[in-house]
Structure 1
Amino acid sequence: MKIPSLPEIERQSLRKWNDKRSAVVFTTEQVWDLVKDQLDIFPHQKFYVAEATKPTMDHFVNQAEGEVVYGIGGGLAIDTAKYVAAHLKKSLFAVPTVLSTDAFLTDATGVRINGCVRYLASKSPDLVLVDIDLLCRAPIVMRTNGAADVLSIATGMWDWQYAQDTGKNPSNQMIESHAVEIGNAILKNLIKNAKEIGNGTAAGMKVLFDLLCLEVQLCYLCGHSRLEEGSEHHFVYSLENFLNEHALHGDLVGLGILLMSALQDQEWQPYQTTLEQLRINYRPPGVTEKMIINTLVGLSAYVKEHQLPHTIAADRNITTDLAISTIEEVLG
């Protein structure tokens, strides 16, 4: 089995970067306005990305013409750039302007297909340009959102162990004690540094960046993402079908961590404190109590329908009364 590795990473001011090759740039209008005077590149084509669907990405593949591909911004823009660069066999440069996901480190692109998130093979960036000062200046509402994909180790690893104990792990996803120990160390470091990260200091953002790198590389070594993607993510994938407006991934995952850790009979209060210190809003606007209830009650059927990895969500009979009492316990 070939084990992927992290992409090459350069920590430097964007103002020091210079690339005169014709570039296909995937970004958003707001992000481009932020970086266009700092980043010395030649944007032969510029696409503003608004959704993560395969038809949209295939359209970009057919339209893109350039020597290199740039993904600038958050997960949506960079995931799209990864998909296009892979299909066109072009060099890819990722410029994260916010640590909202770990997409700039991975070799797959997440899209919604038939009501669930699926990961399509794409490619890792050939180079990730990291400007810590730029990350510190990201909007507070999303600046540390990617930390939720580290905190989800708390519920993801619990689910992985639960599947092991119930004999539901496939042979290539069996629990490995050293992976659990490393995962716990990553989780403990996030909790320890949550205040610093939430304050958006250079030291805090570097810690978050490093923890995202460690989490991704650990998943590569395991050959799967079970240690950080469990019932809390499955809850999010289902909940997104009920939403009428966009919500930040990290906010939704934060909500999922609290609800599912309570249903796992874990002590969820420390995770709530950590989310608050990280300034991740686990009460996302546009998410109603009715949406949460419907998601929880239907979660067992949802994970079975979409054949998601085995977690507590598959076995826990979440009635309407249990959903309501869990929401009241966690959210008040």
Structure 2
Amino acid sequence: MAVLTRLYPGPATVRIGAGAARELPAILADQRISASGRLAIAISEGSGTALRERLREQIPASAGWFTVPTASLDAAVALADQIRASGKPYDTIVGLGGGKVIDVTKYAAARLGMPMVAVVTNLAHDGICSPVSTLENDAGSGSYGVPGPIGVVVDLDLVRDAPPRFVRAGIGEALSNLCALADWELSHRETGEPVDGLAAAMARTPAEALLHRDGTIADDGFLTVLAEALVLSGLAMSVAGSSRPSSGACHEISHAIDQLFPAKAAQHGEQVGVGAAFASHLREDRGLADTLVEALRRHDLPVLPGELGLDTHEFVEAVAYAPRTRPGRYTILEHLDLSESDLVDAVKDYVDTYAR
């Protein structure tokens, strides 16, 4: 009997733990990713300098260091050009930092055709292991398909040093998978869009584990579960071949806020958390909406538009605009296709339901 399986890209190694970044050379050598130490390491212009000094004794002298000024397409192209122009025989690119550095490094690695390793210093979103780079461009921002990292290292010591708000935002990002999956299933029922069961399981299971997990970002155990949830969320996208398992109405709303009110934009994970709770309310899934709101409140994350710094009119405008950010994607927003007055009523009802 033939055995039918499928192959999907995933990292050769994932290491999550306190002090994990100090093990980077050994991890790369053990996994045959890079035994030479010829690493091109990308860091931010700000906190990256302190990271370089902190890891100076562990990183091989043969490594080259490159700074990433912004999370833009231009910066990603410039990084690739600088690495190529250096003339050094680098064999691996390492993104050392937060999501912006990692997104830029993933794109540069794809441009150069080199393997990329993500060394994560905060847990703000699931881009740490996804096949997507979200970069600013002339039109605002765009999502670019790239190979996912060949290795992921999450150093909990470095994560604890990140601003707590950034880390908490990752909770909203992971929990929003439950909204994205509900939208995917809705699209399957209404449009016949196929649902990849493996990708859905990889997105749902860690989100539910986090939803019911005790503890806070001060606990290593909780941080480990959060890191695993974000890694698996990225892998779910690789399996599905799109961001569908982790991006639904919640992300459409967040992207709309970014485009319409950039001066007021909060952390991505904060916005998608509110978007997920609101979309679940629209879907009349009171059980999920209540549970999401309780979890967001427990971790001091925003729930209401006002807690994002948006008034009712601005949030309504963002929700109305949201479907334009992902043309062709079918979510509860496209399904209901509410008029502006109906959206005003829906937002007011949501606020009245979940106001403290």
- TM-score normalized by the length of structure 1: 0.84
1:4-43 equivalences in 2 (<5 Å): 4-11=9-16, 13=19, 14-18=21-25, 21=38, 23-34=40-51, 36-39=53-56, 40-41=58-59, 42=61
Amino acid of the structure 2 residue aligned with 1:60? L
1:3 is aligned to 2:12: no
1:50 is aligned to 2:57: no
For residue 167 of structure 1, the aligned residue among 191, 198, 202 is 191
Query: Deviations along 1:32-79, whole A, 9 cap, x unmatched?
Result: 32453235335634313323x323322332233352422111111101
For residue 307 of structure 1, the aligned residue among 320, 327, 332 is 327
For the structure 1 residues 266 and 31, does the alpha-carbon distance in structure 2 shift closer, same or farther, using more than 3 Å as the test? Answer: farther
Query: Deviations along 1:210-240, whole A, 9 cap, x unmatched?
Result: 2223333333333333232111111111111
How far, CA to CA, are the matches of 2:7 and 2:278 in structure 1?
A: 36
Is the contact made by 2:124 and 2:269 (CA closer than 8 Å) also made in structure 1?
Answer: yes
SS in 2 for 1:124: coil
1:134-149 equivalences in 2 (<5 Å): 134-149=158-173
How far, CA to CA, are the matches of 2:113 and 2:50 in structure 1?
A: 28
Calculate percent identity across the aligned residue pairs: 19
Look up the match of 1:296: 319
Q: CA RMSD in A?
A: 2.8
Is the contact made by 2:132 and 2:144 (CA closer than 8 Å) also made in structure 1?
Answer: yes
Query: For structure 2, which runs of at least 5 residues remain unmatched after alignment?
Result: 1-5, 26-35
For residue 200 of structure 1, the aligned residue among 218, 224, 229 is 218
How far, CA to CA, are the matches of 1:88 and 1:63 in structure 2?
A: 11
**322-331 or 150-159, larger mean C-alpha shift:** 322-331
Is the contact made by 1:11 and 1:130 (CA closer than 8 Å) also made in structure 2?
Answer: yes
For residue 205 of structure 2, the aligned residue among 185, 188, 191 is 185
1:328 is aligned to 2:355: no
SS in 2 for 1:307: coil
Amino acid of the structure 1 residue aligned with 2:14? I
Is the contact made by 1:250 and 1:280 (CA closer than 8 Å) also made in structure 2?
Answer: no
**Would you say how many aligned residue pairs link Structure 1 and Structure 2?**
322
Query: Deviations along 1:73-100, whole A, 9 cap, x unmatched?
Result: 1111101011112212334232101111
Shift of 1:326: 4.0
For residue 106 of structure 2, the aligned residue among 82, 85, 88 is 82
1:95 is aligned to 2:116: no
Amino acid of the structure 1 residue aligned with 2:182? W
For the structure 1 residues 32 and 157, does the alpha-carbon distance in structure 2 shift closer, same or farther, using more than 3 Å as the test? Answer: same
Look up the match of 2:232: 214
Amino acid of the structure 1 residue aligned with 2:233? E
Shift of 1:26: 3.0
SS in 1 for 2:179: helix
For residue 250 of structure 2, the aligned residue among 206, 221, 232 is 232
How far, CA to CA, are the matches of 1:279 and 1:215 in structure 2?
A: 22
Look up the match of 1:255: 274
For the structure 1 residues 161 and 115, does the alpha-carbon distance in structure 2 shift closer, same or farther, using more than 3 Å as the test? Answer: farther
Shift of 1:252: 0.9
- TM-score normalized by the length of structure 2: 0.79
Amino acid of the structure 1 residue aligned with 2:321? G
Query: Deviations along 1:85-142, whole A, 9 cap, x unmatched?
Result: 2212334232101111222212321235575754323232232222223323332111
Is the contact made by 1:156 and 1:232 (CA closer than 8 Å) also made in structure 2?
Answer: yes
**243-252 or 274-283, larger mean C-alpha shift:** 274-283
Look up the match of 1:272: 293
Is the contact made by 2:174 and 2:230 (CA closer than 8 Å) also made in structure 1?
Answer: yes
For the structure 1 residues 176 and 34, does the alpha-carbon distance in structure 2 shift closer, same or farther, using more than 3 Å as the test? Answer: closer
Amino acid of the structure 2 residue aligned with 1:4? P
Query: Deviations along 1:268-289, whole A, 9 cap, x unmatched?
Result: 1210111122343446554444
